[in-house]
Each structure stands twice: as C-alpha cells, then as structure tokens.
C-alpha cells in the first residue's frame, strides 16, 4: 500500500479528491476522518495541514503528496516534485494600498512587507536587488497595511477580490503556483511501481480534461481543408455518409484551440458539428 497526503480541507483538497476519483479509485471520506483507504487500489489517503505535507513526504511518513508549489518551495523541498497537476492555479503577489503610488519593485527598498512566504519573497527581492524588512504572518496578511504593520504584503492571489476588499492593489507577481504531485525519493520498487500506475491514471484524466471529441459532416471537396484543421491524435477518422459527396469526420481538439478551430471548420463547409467530453484519454 502507498500513502498519499492531501490537504484536509479547502479547494485544493476538493480538487485532489476529484482527481483521485476520476482515476477510478474508490474511497469513503468525511470531515472528521484523518485517513481513509481505497477499496480498489492499494492506496491510503492522509488528510493533513498543507504546510505539513512536504515534511511528511520528505521524512517518509507519507510516500506521496498533493500540495501547492508555493507551499513546497517555501518549505525548501522543490526536488520532491514529480509532476504538475494543472489545477488550483494561483500566484504569489506583492500588493500595496490603492492610495499609494508605485513605479517598480525598487519602491519597496527599506519598506516593511508582511508575508506568509518569507523564503520565496526573500529570494525574489534579492534577485531584484531590493532590501526590505520582512514580517512573517501566518494568516490575515491583507490587514497588515491598513493597521500600520507593513507598507506592503506578499500573499497568494487567485481572483484578486480579497485584495480589493481590503483596499489593496496587486503590483508585482513574485511566483506562479499550481498543485503538484510530490514523492519521497527513497520509494521501494513496489511503491515506485504503484506511483507509476497512479501517474498513468492521472495523466489520462488530465489529458482528457484538456481535449474534446469532435464529430462533423463535411463535403468531400472540403476534406483536405478539414483534415488540415483537425490533426487528431494521429489523423482524423473519415467515414463516407449515405449522401454521396459527404463524409463524417471524427477527431480530438485541444480545449484552448476549440472555438478558433470551430469557426475555421464552418468557414470551409463543415456542418452538424458535435462536441463531446472525453472521460479518459490514453496516449
């Protein structure tokens, strides 16, 4: 059995559990249980504070973990990262009071900055040649400027609404983060094999999320133009229709390119375009 540590509550926890379920792994979880076992895969899930996960994995208490890059790097264990998971994206940013002027990060020279990420921020400021006084705060960082504790803050930003609600504005992005899978570097051969199985499932799920299955009808005269727009995994599937001079085309389209490609397909004569989600996608 392999142990996976995830955050015990919050959006990252929900997204992590959803990914595990989409990998076909069944388990029962509740708000009061701090661990659970899967019923159809040799996996035990531990529910921990996010700040504790890198240390647990480094020490071998947990074999694997899902954690934000910001937490992993701040803890000093970036080498534990196995792969990025593509969700819970955010940024670590500097912010100041909206009433304050700002031209560049050099304006923070000698200023007081409140943050929960002194290691990441310290390295960033050093790289910019700026010396500032860092005040480490474990929570409610946004209030620091309004009560005179600091001139600026450095904190995690998703939508920016929390900054706005506290009279702050974002001025610099210090670090970009997303959820990552991490692993102890001394896994046994058996556990390494289980990690590879889990990665294979996760990659199949993530690949499916990024792509759509598309079906359309097109005149044979436009087939070359349609095929040029729809490369698919290797090439699109083309099937003759009962109506002479027409074919059905099936392919896979990347989510980011979908709307642009759809417009081009219509322009070359494609009709009856259907788009379907993909549950799993094996490369």
**Residue 258 has what pLDDT?**
86
Residue 187, classified by CB atoms within 10 Å of its CB into exposed (0-12), middle (13-18) or buried (19+), is middle
239: number of Cβ within 10 Å? 9
Q: How confident is the model at residue 162 (pLDDT cuts 50, 70, 90)?
A: confident
CB 275 within 8 A of CB 258: yes
43: number of Cβ within 10 Å? 22
In sequence order, what are the residues at sequence separation of 6 or more whose Cβ sits closer than 8 angstroms to the Cβ of residue 128?
105, 106
The packing angle between helices 11-22 and 189-209, to 10°, is: 100
Length of the chain: 283
- Nearest Cα to Cα of residue 154 among 185, 108, 194, 211: 108
Mean pLDDT of 2-8: 96
Percentage of the chain lying above the pLDDT 90 cut: 76
**Residue 85 has what pLDDT?**
96
Q: How confident is the model at residue 92 (pLDDT cuts 50, 70, 90)?
A: very high
| Secondary structure letter of residue 214 according to DSSP | E
At residue 38, what are phi and psi to the nearest 5 degrees?
-70, 150
Taking the domain 90-177, which CATH number applies?
3.40.190.10
Higher pLDDT, 160 or 176: 176
Beta bridge partners of 48: 7
- The listed range with the strongest mean pLDDT (28-37, 133-142, 186-195, 204-213) is 186-195
Taking the domain 211-277, which CATH number applies?
3.30.70.120
- Say which CATH class 2-87+179-208 falls into: alpha beta
Q: What are the boundaries of each domain within the chain?
A: 2-87+179-208, 90-177, 211-277
Query: Distance between alpha carbon 93 and the CA centroid of its chain, in Å?
Result: 17
**Residue 49 has what pLDDT?**
93
**Residue 30 has what pLDDT?**
73
At residue 67, what are phi and psi to the nearest 5 degrees?
-150, 160
| Secondary structure letter of residue 253 according to DSSP | E
Query: Do 2-87+179-208 and 90-177 have matching folds?
Result: yes
Q: What is the pLDDT of residues 37-69, one digit of tens each?
A: 999 999 999 999 999 999 999 999 999 999 999
**Residue 93 has what pLDDT?**
95
CB 212 within 8 A of CB 276: yes
**Residue 58 has what pLDDT?**
97
Q: What is the pLDDT of residues 229-274, one digit of tens each?
A: 987 677 899 999 999 999 999 999 988 888 889 899 999 999 999 9
Determine the Cα–Cα distance for residues 143 and 152; give it in Å rounded to an integer. Answer: 10
- Nearest Cα to Cα of residue 181 among 75, 63, 30, 39: 63
**Residue 255 has what pLDDT?**
86
Q: Cα–Cα distances in Å, from 190 out to 65, 80, 193, 195, 204? A: 17, 18, 5, 9, 22
pLDDT at 8 over 80: yes
């Amino acid at each position: 059995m392999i142990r996976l540590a995830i955050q015990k509550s919050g959006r990252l926890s929900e997204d992590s559990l959803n990914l595990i379920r989409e990998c076909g792994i069944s388990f029962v979880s509740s708000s009061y249980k701090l661990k659970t076992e899967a019923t159809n895969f040799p996996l035990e899930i531990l529910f921990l504070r996010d700040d504790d996960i890198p240390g647990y994995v480094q020490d071998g208490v947990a074999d694997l973990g899902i954690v934000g890059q910001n937490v992993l790097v701040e803890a000093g264990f970036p080498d534990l990262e196995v792969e990025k998971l593509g969700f819970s994206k955010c940024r670590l940013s500097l912010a100041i009071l909206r009433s304050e002027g700002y031209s560049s990060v050099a304006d923070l020279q000698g200023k007081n900055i409140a943050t929960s990420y002194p290691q990441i921020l310290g390295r960033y400021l050093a790289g910019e040649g700026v010396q500032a006084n860092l005040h480490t705060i474990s929570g409610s960082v946004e209030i620091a400027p309004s009560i005179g504790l600091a001139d600026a803050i450095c904190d995690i930003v998703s939508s920016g609404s929390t900054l706005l609600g506290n009279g702050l504005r974002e001025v610099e992005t210090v670090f970009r983060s997303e959820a990552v899978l991490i692993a102890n570097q001394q896994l046994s051969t058996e556990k390494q094999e289980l990690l590879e199985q889990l990665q294979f499932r996760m990659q199949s799920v993530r690949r499916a999320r990024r792509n759509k299955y598309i079906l359309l009808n097109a005149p044979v005269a436009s087939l070359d133009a349609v095929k040029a727009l729809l490369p698919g995994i290797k090439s699109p599937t083309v099937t003759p229709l009962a109506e002479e001079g027409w074919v059905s085309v099936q392919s896979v389209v990347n989510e980011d390119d979908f709307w642009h490609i759809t417009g081009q397909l219509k322009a070359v004569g494609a009709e009856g375009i259907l788009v379907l989600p993909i549950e799993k996608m094996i490369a």
